[in-house]
Amino acid sequence: MLGGPSAEREVSLRTGAAVVRALRSLGHTVTKLDPQNGAGSWTLPPETDVVFLALHGTYGEDGVIQRELDVLGVPYTGCGAEASRLAFDKLLTKQRCVVTGVNTPRFVVFDSPTAPFPAGWQLPVVLKPVRQGSSVGLQFVDKAEQWSGALAEALRHDTEVLCEERIMGRETTVGILDDAPLPVVEVRPRSGAYDYQSKYTAGATEYFCPAEFDAATTARIQAAGLAAFRAIGGRDYARVDVMVRPDGVPSVLEVNTLPGMTETSLFPKAAAAAGLDYPALCQRMIELALRRATRMAH
C-alpha cells in the first residue's frame, strides 16, 4: 500500500516504488494499492498473504489503516493500530516518554495562533504540528518577533502545536528492528535545520552511519530509542529521532512507526550498516508480519 490521502503522499509513492522493486527482485508477486481517498476506496486482492505498508502521514501512520486491516484479519508490516496512533501524536508520545522515564525535551501545547510566548521559557524553541509527519509545518523560532508568525504557520497544519525547547546538540536517529536497535545514524543538515527541504533534497544533508560517538554514548542513544519504542508499545520496527545534548545525554524527539523507505532514507542506511541490504530488509519486515500471522493462526 502506497500513496494515500496525506500531505506526505509524494514521499509515500517513492517509498512504495522502492519497496515494490525490492520485493519483485526477490520473486514475490506484488500488487500496488493506492488508497488515494482513504477508507472505503480500496479492496485487497484475493489471496493476499501480507500487506506491506508504505503509507506515510494521516490514514497510513496514525492507526486508521491498521485498524481496518485488523478487522479484515490480514497481517501487515510494522506497528499495530494503538502504537501507531500513539506515535503519530507527538503529544501522546511525549506523555508516554515522561510516564516511562524516557528523557524528552521540555514541551507545552498551543491551540491558538494568538497565544503569547510561554512564560519562563528561553529561546530558541521548535514548533511542530502535533499530528503531522515528515517535518510538515515544522517551525524554528530563534527571535521573539518570529513567534506569532511561526505559531500561526504551524497551526495551519493541525489544531494543536507542540512547542519544544530546541536542543542545540547532535541530531541522531535510531532504527529498531525486531526489538533490537540498529547502528545510530547522525544527521547533519548543511542549512543548519533538518526540515522538509533538507530531508528530501539530494545533497542537502550529510549522514554518518554508524555515527561517531564513543561506545558508552552510542549505547545510551540506542537504549533511549528502544525505551521510546517500547513506551508506545511498538512492534517489528520503527525509527526513533533522538537529540544528543552537548553533555552526551540523549533526548527523544519522536517515534516514526512507518519510517521512510526510499533509497536515501535513514532506516535502510542503518540496516545496511548492520549488514542488511535493502531487499533483505524488506524481506525481514514481511517475515516479522507473517510470523505474527502464524502465531495468530495457532
Decide if 63 is catalytic: no
Alpha carbons 135 and 133: distance in angstroms, whole number? 6
Please give the average per-residue pLDDT across 290-296, as a whole number: 83
pTM across the whole model? 0.91
Domain boundaries, the chain: 86-103+168-278, 107-165
Decide if 235 is catalytic: no
What are 44-62's pLDDT values in tens digits? 999 999 999 999 988 999 9
Assess contact for 213 and 221: CB atoms under 8 A: yes
User: What pLDDT was estimated at residue 178?
Assistant: 97
Q: What is the CATH number of domain 107-165?
A: 3.30.1490.20
Decide if 239 is catalytic: yes
What are 224-253's pLDDT values in tens digits? 999 999 999 999 999 999 999 999 999 999
Decide if 200 is catalytic: yes
| Active-site residue, selected from the candidate residues 164, 239, 251, 265 | 239
User: What pLDDT was estimated at residue 190?
Assistant: 80
Residue 144: burial class (beta carbons within 10 Å; 0-12, 13-18, 19+)? exposed
Decide if 241 is catalytic: yes
Decide if 256 is catalytic: yes
Q: Which CATH class is domain 86-103+168-278?
A: alpha beta
Higher pLDDT residue, 82 or 197? 82
C-alpha distances (whole Å) from 105 to each of 94, 125, 164, 252 are: 9, 10, 6, 7
| Active-site residue, selected from the candidate residues 4, 8, 16, 85 | 8
Q: What percent of the chain has pLDDT over 90?
A: 83
